[in-house]
Structure 1
Amino acid sequence: MAKESLIYGIRAVIEAVEAGKSFNKVFLQKGLQGDLFQQLEGVLRKASVSTSYVPIEKLNRLTPHNHQGAVGQMSPVNFVGLEEVVESALAANKPALFLLLDQVSDVRNYGAIIRTAECTGASGIILAKSGNAPVNEDTIKTSAGAAFNIPLIKVDHLKDAVYYLQASGIQVVGITEKASDSLYEQDLKAPLALLMGSEEKGIHPSLLKLTDARGSLPLLGKIESLNVSVACGIALYEVIRQRLFAPPAAAQ
């Protein structure tokens, strides 16, 4: 089973970041000073690596070694660049299908989403570098290893990813209970990206405003929302249904 690797020591973390290694998070000792530590902070900011300032006791629990006030949790998978994945998807012999995840913070939900996305042949999964679930041992396990078989893309800001996708001819469809139209009424056969939000907060309003279309999933019971991984699976398979088997319901 793939696990997060720990890198400890200020200089070691700096070199790993500058070498382009993927980090889930870097823990820094609260209140630490010094030129080298400030250099590390600058490198982490420039690379948009998620950081957390913690007491020294937390770092001591992470590793028994001399951590010098810095411990990095590396991701077991390598993230890829948005532009190269989009170019590859547009050159393929099928319409592009991306997922945009906004603040999906539960690792098991994230793993389940990765698994379904891989099963439906999605082109890639895009999420922001901060505020989302990491790819760790639980994510890998829940994905049944699919995390190694689908491009995972981290960006500084999801807004920029939305703009880039739209400029590339890929429609962005928000899946939200606030939509007046059902997802089943949308034409999902063109190249597109499905935008999903967290169960607690949904899609951020500033992102929702940028979407080309919005679709809701019917909720006929008393519960007001679906588990995000379940909603994602339903939406992905509606795309597959339309592309492989039938026109959208509204056109029948």
Structure 2
Amino acid sequence: MKQETTVFGIRAIIEAINSNESIDKVFLQKGLKGELFSELETLIRKNGINSSYVPVEKLNRLTNKNHQGAVANISPIAFYNIEDLVISALESEKTPLFLLLDQLSDVRNFGAIIRTAECTGVTGIIIQKKGGAPVNGDTIKTSAGAVFKVPLCKVDHIKDAVFHMQASGIKVIAATEKTDNTLYDVSFKEPCAIIMGSEGRGINPSTLKVVDEKAKLPLLGEIESLNVSVACGAFLYEAIRQRFEG
């Protein structure tokens, strides 16, 4: 089990990227200039690393060391390659069940979903490199350690994962209210991947256009939506129920 690590200093972060460390996010000081800083920015863009520009006060809260305007969090886990994971899943005797998270931003929801995914035997979780919740100490705690038991993959865009799943014969089902079908109208018995959207925006509209099926949860009260981790649990356990029956 690798602990979450904070790396500070421009050159140190450049070395971490070049050494293929699993960098979760880089915080860069707003308005900073310089040749070395520009080199770091180029590396971040080239490798699709999640980053944000923040005031120096934010960096000072992350570390009391001489950060030179850059602080990076290295993930406590190693991410899987999606191609290898899908091939392995299709070769196994178990029917694959993947989970795609479209820029889920709340760490507690993320951790709770990973915990439920582990309990329901999810094959792997695919997240986007940018815009989603980090894999950090809070994720580990909320997932009750499940983050070390469920394979996680990162892709440039969730749509990339959708196309890869479909090309591999895996049906992609979007959890969205923009449909008349409920999750009880959809079959989860064959190899499939379920997409859950972000807390505020849901699933990206361009991604919704390319999925195989859409399904929603029936809501009988006055509130129009469920917490995403609760909704995800309902979808996963419906998949398990159908597969047990089969």
User: 1:138: how far off?
Assistant: 1.4
Equivalent in the alignment of 2:103: 103
User: Which residue identity does 1:189 align to in structure 2?
Assistant: K
Pairs aligned (count) = 246
Structure 1 residues 140 and 2: CA distance shift in structure 2, 3 A:
farther
Matched, 1:81 2:81: yes
Equivalent in the alignment of 1:250: none
- Cα separation, 1, equivalents of 2:216 and 2:34: 52
Equivalent in the alignment of 2:67: 67
Q: How does 1:36-55 map to 2 (within 5 A)?
A: 36-55=36-55
Contact 1:199 1:226 in 2 (8 A): no
User: 1:24: how far off?
Assistant: 2.1
User: Which residue identity does 1:115 align to in structure 2?
Assistant: R
Equivalent in the alignment of 2:125: 125
TM-score, normalised with respect to structure 2: 0.96
User: 1:57: how far off?
Assistant: 2.5
Instruction: Tell me the SS of whatever aligns to 1:169.
Output: coil
- Cα separation, 2, equivalents of 1:55 and 1:220: 45
Contact 1:111 1:139 in 2 (8 A): yes
Equivalent in the alignment of 2:192: 192
- Cα separation, 2, equivalents of 1:234 and 1:60: 41
- Cα separation, 1, equivalents of 2:54 and 2:200: 26
User: Which residue identity does 1:129 align to in structure 2?
Assistant: K
Q: Deviations over 1:202-242 (max 9, x none)?
A: 11111111110111111011111111001101100111111
Q: Deviations over 1:139-166 (max 9, x none)?
A: 1111110000011111111111111110
Q: Which segment drifts farther, 61-70 or 162-171?
A: 61-70
User: 1:3: how far off?
Assistant: 5.3
User: 1:10: how far off?
Assistant: 1.1
Equivalent in the alignment of 2:34: 34
Instruction: Tell me the SS of whatever aligns to 1:73.
Output: strand
TM-score, normalised with respect to structure 1: 0.94
User: 1:38: how far off?
Assistant: 1.1
Q: What stretches of structure 1 of length at least 5 have no aligned partner?
A: 247-252
Equivalent in the alignment of 1:232: 232
- Cα separation, 2, equivalents of 1:174 and 1:26: 30
Equivalent in the alignment of 1:208: 208
Equivalent in the alignment of 1:92: 92
Equivalent in the alignment of 1:24: 24
- Cα separation, 1, equivalents of 2:101 and 2:13: 28
- Cα separation, 2, equivalents of 1:152 and 1:184: 27
Instruction: Tell me the SS of whatever aligns to 1:42.
Output: helix
Q: What stretches of structure 2 of length at least 5 have no aligned partner?
A: none
- Cα separation, 2, equivalents of 1:206 and 1:126: 17
Segments of 4+ in structure 1 off by > 4 A? none
Instruction: Tell me the SS of whatever aligns to 1:211.
Output: coil
User: 1:103: how far off?
Assistant: 2.1
Contact 2:105 2:199 in 1 (8 A): no
